[in-house]
Amino acid sequence: MDLGLGGRGYLLTGASRGLGLATAQALVTDGARVLISSRAAYGVSEAVEALGPLAAGVAADLADPAAAEILVAEALAQLGRVDGALISVGGPAPGSVLDVGEDAWRAGVESVLLGPLRLVRALVPHLSAGAAIGFVLSTSVRQPIGGLAVSNGLRPGLAMTAKALADELGPRGIRVVGLLPGTIATDRITQIEAASGDPAAARARTEAAIPLGRVGRPEEFGRVAAFALSPAASYLTGTMLTVDGGSTRAL
């Protein structure tokens, strides 16, 4: 299938590795140009080199109130046009509801909610009909994940905000979707497994609860995200796409 991405430009945050980088790779493979960002300049440089001539990068932290305007200005300068964005932020601090301190909750609100909203506000005036915004969320939108109280509390709110944005931007021909990754083999999952003290046992427990019997690969998520952002998905908006191998039990 031709996704119609040739010549289009996309801004991706949190994209120097993991799911964001996998999406960037899927986009450039189909001919799109990308501007990727993350907090670490070195990681951005490495990712841009790996992606090739259709990629550019800039270091930025969405939790910084100034980041949104910087990212949009850089995207316009580097890409010439912006046809959409994949907005992803790092996972908030782990812990249970009663154990996580208020500072961690406040930091989570800043990074998970306010950072993405600032970027959307800065970006929307530059988008035209046919553009798409994708939010990388989590299966915690539909069911809580043990030990991730802040994510469980905030990501469903961002999902509903994305749904409301789809209503607001639909008349302008701009689509908004959410992507709910399950357990994908990223550095973050490796760290969580290592922290358990027995990574192999942790992986086995995880895979036993996944109908497909394995964790996902970043490129499997990336292809879904690239499709959702592409003109091929032109009638897809206001929905949450779960990419989890069937592990989520909710509809």
Q: Is residue 248 situated within a structural domain?
A: no
Neighbouring CB atoms inside 10 A of 146's CB total 8
Q: Is residue 79 situated within a structural domain?
A: yes
Quote the pTM value. Answer: 0.95
The gap between the terminal CA atoms of the chain, to the nearest Å, is 28
Q: Is residue 51 situated within a structural domain?
A: yes
pLDDT, mean over the chain? 94
pLDDT tens digits, residue range 167-221?
999 999 999 999 999 999 888 788 778 877 888 888 999 999 999 999 999 999 9
Q: Is residue 250 situated within a structural domain?
A: no
Q: Which residues contact 135 (CB under 8 A, 6 or more apart)?
A: 87, 88, 116, 158, 159, 162, 176, 177, 178, 179
DSSP β-ladder status, 33-38 and 9-12: parallel
CATH label of the domain that carries residue 155: 3.40.50.720
Lowest mean pLDDT among 26-30, 72-76, 108-112: 108-112
> How far are the Cα atoms of 107, 125, 147, 226 from residue 237, in angstroms, in the given order?
29, 19, 31, 14
Q: Is residue 4 situated within a structural domain?
A: no
Please tell me the total count of domains within the chain.
1
Average pLDDT over residues 14-38: 97
Largest CA distance in the chain: 51
Q: Is residue 249 situated within a structural domain?
A: no
> How far are the Cα atoms of 28, 108, 133, 235 from residue 6, in angstroms, in the given order?
8, 36, 18, 19
183 lies in which domain range?
9-243
Q: Is residue 211 situated within a structural domain?
A: yes
pLDDT tens digits, residue range 99-135?
888 898 998 898 899 999 999 999 999 999 999 999 9
> For the chain, how many helices (H) and strands (E)?
9, 7
Q: Is residue 66 situated within a structural domain?
A: yes
